[in-house]
A and B are shown apart, each in its own frame.
Chain A
């Protein structure tokens, strides 16, 4: 328990004027309840209720009234194992989807506060083991020394090479476009990587990609709240891109790696990079507008699920729609879409909270994830919540009457696929690259 106070102080070091606003100006109207994917499971998981755990600590450490009056003004520092376990539980009932941010009448981003809460959880050594393993593996830069992971990567390269019918232009200096797939994509949505490569080859772009992935999914520290890890990983990527002389960095992952590289990196590394970061959707729209690509239009009943990080947190909203409308005459929106899109429930590490994934990762890496009884219970409960959280998204999918759900984040693909098998409807869930690869061609 002696680690608690330093951990609280470390987490609260993240308080800046914006966080201060988040901490101090909530009027407890609970407007955020209605959009959070985890509130339907319990009102105790509402954004405002989860964020209150951070506010307790903040008041105790950073306010005069909190120091003097303590519990009377809801100021306290957790003192028992149960309290710490509860904080971990609420910290891991959030996908950081930011919907609470836009629906709050005061622009309070509870997700951002829960990220600070995760910094606290991380500092007391309670980050879920699997995320901690990813985090440490990624920061070490030695994850490709693992036989299982190296094999996954090699398989991707082989498949892609076979698909394009020749050698891949790996590590080619001076290429116009540097495609950066991550190891997690290769593990969970390998087709997205292979098909992005196929698209790049097919449309004749001068492109390259690193022969080895630079990260598992950068930065895992963004998910766990470990800012040192985040800095280590993003700095290493930035140094590589700078040295490589990259002009356009292309991502197929539309989850948090996109926001990390596009919007967070300058603040973390302390400079505005000279290269630009584009998601595949943005890149293809650019080519479409330049008249360099065209599409064969079909009539699939297709909808687009906006990954929260790509849409609400990054503004890549019109681009996927432009592409899908080119590719099919039967595109339709989900009832909640764009910046108002409902989160699928899998983001910010929640999709990793399954026993199945622990087993699969154990088999793949040869690592044994030894969980205490307490953590096993935590994972079991988190898994139950995660699987329930998907239901709301699936109701939206059902209403759209789409037969294909296209999206761009590996976790969204995985989560909606799970949702379809658990709750229906029967839909195909595809990454954007996979849907477009047969429909796009050079103009």
Chain B
């Protein structure tokens, strides 16, 4: 059995099950420490105030990091999230096809698909893409128009890879020189796993190190396998913020500060 076959046919259901079990475990832990308490009388504020501040609750950290922590904003939020992992994961054309295969309604997002490069809309592995081709100057025909200059797999993957490397590297002096306690081994494991997935994905799209079908399938298999490992580890790593921590945290903050206290 090849790595590719193992990743696609054997590991996938196990990864989904592992993820589901991990999520159930994490949620059960929350329920296990539930304590009944008497809530205070909420401060009367209009629904409009509460809704505006719902948006503000989510926006304030972004606004603040743009204003006060520009490097963190550029590397973490912009590079890694907004221009990196989020569009690649959900809108990169190959991924849209993958999601739609397992969840057909997802095909509706095909119109928003981001092509592998600015000069080709090729969506299949049989049409390898040259990043700069004889078609230079003519953007691939996507809904994104000129934005395709940035919104393409090559550029986004490079941004995500650079941002991930930066996030790994910036932690080293903090830990070694600054002696801070909050840089954890798990952070490196998580970021290096992400880096592995990004690099193998980029290599597979580019048919690197060679276009030979066996090599290609091995690289792609490693990419998928990496993603599956991430899926299994997701409930137990910092990636949990993506499916739960971020949403729960900010919604709780809104409920506590805005809804209850009227901030």
Q: Does A17 contact B (CB under 8 A)?
A: yes
Assess whether A272 is in contact with B250, with CB atoms less than 8 Å apart.
Answer: no
Alpha-carbon gap, A109 to B262, bound state (A): 17
Alpha-carbon gap, A116 to B138, bound state (A): 60
| CB-CB contacts below 8 Å: B247-262 with A | 248-254, 256-257, 260-262
Assess whether B61 is in contact with A104, with CB atoms less than 8 Å apart.
Answer: yes
Measured between C-beta atoms, what is the minimum distance from A90 to chain B in Å? 9
Interface size of B by Cβ–Cβ distance < 8 Å? 56
Q: With A34-B64, A48-B182, A265-B40 known to touch, is A25 a contact of B263 (CB < 8 Å)?
A: no
Query: For the side of the interface on A, what is the size category?
Result: 35 or more
Q: A103: which B residues are within 8 A, CB to CB?
A: 60-61, 64
Q: Does A102 contact B (CB under 8 A)?
A: yes
Q: Does A314 contact B (CB under 8 A)?
A: yes
Alpha-carbon gap, A29 to B45, bound state (A): 33
Measured between C-beta atoms, what is the minimum distance from B85 to chain A in Å? 13
Alpha-carbon gap, A314 to B257, bound state (A): 7
Assess whether B263 is in contact with A317, with CB atoms less than 8 Å apart.
Answer: yes
Assess whether A31 is in contact with B38, with CB atoms less than 8 Å apart.
Answer: no
Measured between C-beta atoms, what is the minimum distance from B15 to chain A in Å? 20
Q: With A29-B76, A104-B61, A107-B253 known to touch, is A49 a contact of B245 (CB < 8 Å)?
A: no
Q: Does A298 contact B (CB under 8 A)?
A: no
Which of A101, A272, A339 has the most B CB atoms < 10 Å from its CB? Answer: A339
Q: Does A44 contact B (CB under 8 A)?
A: yes
Q: Does B246 contact A (CB under 8 A)?
A: yes
Alpha-carbon gap, A108 to B236, bound state (A): 18
Q: Does A271 contact B (CB under 8 A)?
A: yes
Assess whether B41 is in contact with A49, with CB atoms less than 8 Å apart.
Answer: no
Assess whether A28 is in contact with B183, with CB atoms less than 8 Å apart.
Answer: yes
Assess whether A267 is in contact with B34, with CB atoms less than 8 Å apart.
Answer: no
Instruction: Name the prevailing secondary structure of the B interface residues.
Output: helix
Assess whether A21 is in contact with B182, with CB atoms less than 8 Å apart.
Answer: no
Alpha-carbon gap, A312 to B183, bound state (A): 28
Alpha-carbon gap, A52 to B152, bound state (A): 39
Assess whether A16 is in contact with B33, with CB atoms less than 8 Å apart.
Answer: yes
Stretch at the interface among B3-11, B97-105, B173-181: B173-181
Q: Does B46 contact A (CB under 8 A)?
A: no
Which residue of chain B lies nearest to A338 when distances are taken between CB atoms in the complex?
Answer: B263
Q: Does B240 contact A (CB under 8 A)?
A: yes
Q: A271: which B residues are within 8 A, CB to CB?
A: 38
Q: Which of A25, A74, A270, A312 contacts B184 (CB 8 A)?
A: A74
Assess whether B60 is in contact with A17, with CB atoms less than 8 Å apart.
Answer: no
Assess whether B249 is in contact with A267, with CB atoms less than 8 Å apart.
Answer: no
Assess whether A108 is in contact with B33, with CB atoms less than 8 Å apart.
Answer: no
Q: B57: which A residues are within 8 A, CB to CB?
A: 102, 107
Assess whether B182 is in contact with A49, with CB atoms less than 8 Å apart.
Answer: yes
Which residue of chain A lies nearest to B190 when distances are taken between CB atoms in the complex?
Answer: A27
Q: Does B72 contact A (CB under 8 A)?
A: yes
Q: With A25-B245, A339-B263 known to touch, is A73 a contact of B182 (CB < 8 Å)?
A: no
Assess whether A31 is in contact with B69, with CB atoms less than 8 Å apart.
Answer: yes
Assess whether B180 is in contact with A49, with CB atoms less than 8 Å apart.
Answer: yes
Assess whether B261 is in contact with A34, with CB atoms less than 8 Å apart.
Answer: no
Assess whether A49 is in contact with B38, with CB atoms less than 8 Å apart.
Answer: no
| CB-CB contacts below 8 Å: B16-34 with A | 29-31, 33-34
| CB-CB contacts below 8 Å: B53-74 with A | 57, 60-62, 64-65, 68-69, 72
Q: Which of B31, B240, B251, B262 contacts A25 (CB 8 A)?
A: B240
Assess whether A34 is in contact with B263, with CB atoms less than 8 Å apart.
Answer: no
Q: Does A30 contact B (CB under 8 A)?
A: yes
Q: Does A262 contact B (CB under 8 A)?
A: yes
Q: Does B241 contact A (CB under 8 A)?
A: yes
Alpha-carbon gap, A52 to B180, bound state (A): 9
Q: A267: which B residues are within 8 A, CB to CB?
A: 37-40
Q: A425: which B residues are within 8 A, CB to CB?
A: none
Assess whether B241 is in contact with A27, with CB atoms less than 8 Å apart.
Answer: yes
Assess whether A315 is in contact with B185, with CB atoms less than 8 Å apart.
Answer: no
Assess whether A28 is in contact with B185, with CB atoms less than 8 Å apart.
Answer: no
Q: B145: which A residues are within 8 A, CB to CB?
A: none
Q: Which of B61, B238, B260 contacts A28 (CB 8 A)?
A: B238
Chain A 328-344 interface 0/1 with B at a Cβ cutoff of 8 Å (1 = within):
00000000000110000
Q: A102: which B residues are within 8 A, CB to CB?
A: 57, 60-61, 253, 257
Alpha-carbon gap, A25 to B35, bound state (A): 20
Between-chain CB contacts (< 8 Å), 11 pairs:
A20-B33, A25-B246, A27-B245, A35-B68, A101-B253, A102-B253, A103-B60, A263-B40, A314-B261, A315-B263, A340-B60
Considering the complex of A and B, which 4 residue pairs feature the smallest CB-CB distances, nearest first?
Answer: A107-B253, A25-B245, A315-B262, A107-B249
Task: Point out residues on A near B: beta carbons under 8 Å.
Answer: 15-21, 24-31, 34-35, 43-44, 46, 48-49, 51-53, 56, 65, 72-74, 101-109, 262-267, 269-272, 276, 311-315, 317, 339-340
Given A263-B40, A315-B45, 17 further pairs, Cβ under 8 A:
A17-B31, A21-B249, A25-B246, A25-B248, A28-B171, A29-B76, A31-B72, A52-B181, A65-B236, A102-B57, A106-B245, A106-B249, A108-B249, A267-B38, A314-B43, A314-B262, A315-B262
